A and B are shown apart, each in its own frame.
Chain A
Amino acid sequence: MRLDIAKKAAAVGLGLALLAGCGGGGEQAADGPVELSFWAWAPEIDKVVDKWNADHPDVKVVVSKQAQGDDLVTKLMTSAKGGNPPDLAQVEFQALPTLVSNDVLADVSEWAGSAKDKFAPGIWDQVTLGGAGVYAVPQDSGPMMFYYRTDLFQQYGLTVPTTWDEYAQTARDLRAKAPDKFLGTFSANDPGWFAGLVQQAGGSWWSVDGDAWKVSVDDAATKKVAGYWSGLIAEGAIDKAPMYTPEWNKALNDGTQIGWLSAVWAPGVLKGNAEGTAGKWAMAPMPQWDPAKPRTGNWGGSTTAVTAASKKQKAATEFAIWLNTDPAAVEALVTVSGIYPAATSAQEAQAKPPAFFPNQPDFYTQAAKIAGTSSGFTWGPNVNVTYTAYKNAMGEAISAGADLVPALTKMQAATVDDMKANGFTVGG
């Protein structure tokens, strides 16, 4: 009987051997050109990379499309721990400190330092994390702007708000004239959006003080923003349904939402979510807290980073710089992948407005001007924790009909606790 078990085991082993035959195809060739693996999510970025491959037969970049989001940060960290991360990865600005503190990303200042003057200082600071190292090359940014339906604004006799007081008043006026419509919504699902509003108000959630981190997710500016939106929600002046849901898409489509506080990339989203409203939208600068000193925040934006485990860091950095500063490459990123470039010269070079905004020929001239008013921001090593806390605490407050300001205390506590648990020194 033992023998039979052994025979069975052998049979299973044979099956596995057969299996091995069909797996593991396409391992890298021993000689020949250097091959770089690149994880990215920007649409059609493989077409942009093809341009590099056509001109650089000795360094071949292979794109693997991934799903964007916090999960990708986890996946990158896991693959780094397993010892086989890609050579290059698309990384959002706010994920850089997390990845750097986990030793996932390489310091490429040796090769990328000279790219500094191609970017606005506020953008460049985010890839250096305020130190001497360079951990990524900026790819795209998302300066925030206000989008509104010109036809409906005209129909209800509204003017474009330039301050937050005017925005509140416009929201109320709209509700009075058309009780089923909203000027906008407060989304408990989009922490990146809220962080952008906080940046505009001059908030600062993390800062480095010597060897210690200083965390102030509940600082005065953030409280001001949360309090402002609490008031609007309480009086029913704006909607409180989250963004990026089918309901929200429908509301953009049928004009229930006639405005959207978004970022420069909004035309692409509107085209996908509200195709029927083409040509009816216009873009304006964000409403301001202090009209004398116009500011904006950033929602989204990403970089191209080189991993610490890559054995071809120099070649990888050269590619990252090419992708984000070479005029032809950036042009392709803009037209093919639909991103808003982080490189200053490329921002100014955009002549034609987005196809969804044919009525606003100076869209990109204005956008570049607004991008110039972006506030800097230091991201901490656990933005994902703060973001999750935002979704929980804000979601709870909204469904309970409560004030949003106390939610900030919960976000602060969650952020500090997590940092301490992970061995960071957090100062008062």
Chain B
Amino acid sequence: MSAVLVEDRVVTPPPVRRRSLVSALGALPTVVLLLGAVYCLFPVAWVLVAATKSTGELFSTTTLSVGSSLVANIGELAGYRDGMFWRWMANSALYAGVGALLSAALSGVTGYALAKYTFRGRTLIFNALIAGVLVPAVVLAIPQYLLMSKIGLSDTYLSVLLPSVVSPYGIYLARIYAAASVPEDVVEAARTDGASEVRILGSIALPMMVPGLVTVFLFQFVSIWNNFMLPYIMLADDGKFPVTLGLYTMLKQGNSVPALYTLVVTGSLVSVLPLIALFLTLQRYWRIDLLSGAVKA
């Protein structure tokens, strides 16, 4: 045995080749990820380029040649039906902003309760939530519409906001996060010091859960911003449309009229800008809190 070991020691020194093999293998994921990035970013690049083209240029120039009418397109988009586009953007911001905020709050509180309190039916509730994660929101749109019309709320801002607030996935995520990031010891210590449950939740648990809640907020914001089916079914008044639905009406004007392609392309570009801005600002916040949320020894 020892001989083998010794031999082994003697043989091991040239690790150079192995390391180069490892680094070659290590490059593979990078290449795959780069390909994935190109696959995801190319459509965005296309939208960016296409938004600079005029109607005449859009279908006649080479795909990636930059046009000259970005400013004109944005001007035309802003003027479409007396600034309807900005109204749709504001609606989207309202649905996504308020909806995601409330959703994050609801998920945080519910997730914490499910993670930290033992009560009868807890597993049942949690399993029901898991089942809820599996049901696609699209399937629920029409039943939700019928419910909303029954209570007279269809075609209101609330009809889109309310269903967006409850997110089984957000609650699920918050529960996992609460279980992992809020130590039982801390909660017990706070209780011993005489803090009320609400105080523990508000001053101790929620701050520790912030990175998880930011994640829930981002997920919800993006999914509400991009949601189509729910507002499509719920809303009749085009003044309450979110931007996704508004752009769709510009695209589908009947086959006797050309779709407003340039405006829709420019509108799509403008409509993803808030999402990008949100990710860039919240990402920083996210990382800091992942570090500062840990228990200090």
Contact = CB atoms under 8 A, between A and B. Distances in A.
Interface in A238-259: 244, 246, 249-250, 252-254
A4 B59 CA distance: 62
The bracket for how many chain B residues form the interface is 35 or more
A89 to B, nearest CB: 10
A64 B154 contact: no
A69 B156 CA distance: 24
Contacts of A29: none
A315 interface: no
B254 interface: yes
Interface stretch (B11-19, B30-38, B232-240): B232-240
A78 B256 contact: no
A2 B120 CA distance: 11
A41 interface: yes
Given A7-B198, A12-B106, A82-B154, A300 B149 contact: no
B161 A23 contact: yes
A275 B54 CA distance: 10
Contact of A19 (B55, B56, B98, B248): B98
A64 B260 CA distance: 18
A22 B145 CA distance: 19
B249 A338 contact: no
A294 B227 CA distance: 49
Contacts of A273: 59, 258
Contacts of B161: 19, 23
Contacts of B142: 78
Interface string A57-84: 0000000111111010001001101111
B259 interface: yes
B225 to A, nearest CB: 18
Interface stretch (A167-175, A261-269, A364-372, A387-395): A261-269
B255 A253 contact: no
Nearest to A193: B255
A302 B254 contact: yes
B65 to A, nearest CB: 13
A313 to B, nearest CB: 18
A68 B252 CA distance: 5
Counting chain A CB atoms within 10 Å of each CB, the highest count among B159, B198, B254, B258 belongs to: B254
Contact of B59 (A39, A68, A83, A274): A274
Given A23-B161, A41-B249, A43-B257, A66 B59 contact: no
Nearest to B250: A67
B197 interface: yes
Given A41-B249, A67-B248, A274-B59, A4 B238 contact: no
A8 interface: yes
Contacts of B248: 67
A91 to B, nearest CB: 12
A1 B119 contact: yes
Contacts of B158: 19-20, 23-24
A275 B102 contact: no
A291 interface: no
A269 B257 contact: yes
Contacts of B150: 82-83
A249 B162 CA distance: 42
B278 interface: no
Contacts of A19: 98, 102, 158, 161-162
Interface in B70-108: 81, 94, 98, 102, 105-106
A69 B232 CA distance: 13
B32 to A, nearest CB: 30
Contacts of B113: 5, 8
A142 interface: yes
B254 A254 contact: no
Interface in A1-42: 1-2, 4-5, 7-8, 11-12, 15-16, 19-20, 22-25, 37, 39, 41-42
A24 B253 CA distance: 28
B56 to A, nearest CB: 4
A41 B157 CA distance: 22
Contacts of B281: none
A261 to B, nearest CB: 13
Given A64-B237, A78-B145, A1 B197 contact: yes
Contacts of A25: 157
Given A5-B113, A7-B198, A272-B55, A41 B60 contact: no
A339 interface: yes
Contacts of B233: 75, 78
A41 B59 contact: no
A121 interface: no
B249 A65 contact: yes
A276 interface: yes
B251 interface: yes
Nearest to A254: B60
Nearest to B260: A272
A271 interface: yes
B198 A4 contact: yes
Given A68-B254, A75-B233, A300-B254, A250 B156 contact: no
Contacts of A340: 256
Contact of B236 (A7, A16, A79, A272): A79
A192 interface: yes
B153 interface: yes
Interface in B140-164: 142, 145-146, 148-150, 153-159, 161-162
Contact of A68 (B236, B253, B258): B253
In order of increasing CB-CB distance, the 10 nearest A-B pairs are A272-B258, A82-B149, A265-B256, A23-B158, A67-B252, A23-B157, A249-B59, A68-B254, A4-B197, A24-B156
Given A300-B254, A300-B256, 14 more contacts: A5-B117, A12-B109, A23-B156, A24-B156, A41-B249, A67-B251, A79-B154, A82-B145, A249-B58, A253-B60, A265-B257, A272-B258, A272-B261, A300-B255
Interface of B: 55-56, 58-60, 81, 94, 98, 102, 105-106, 109, 113, 117, 119, 142, 145-146, 148-150, 153-159, 161-162, 196-198, 201, 232-233, 236-239, 245, 248-249, 251-261
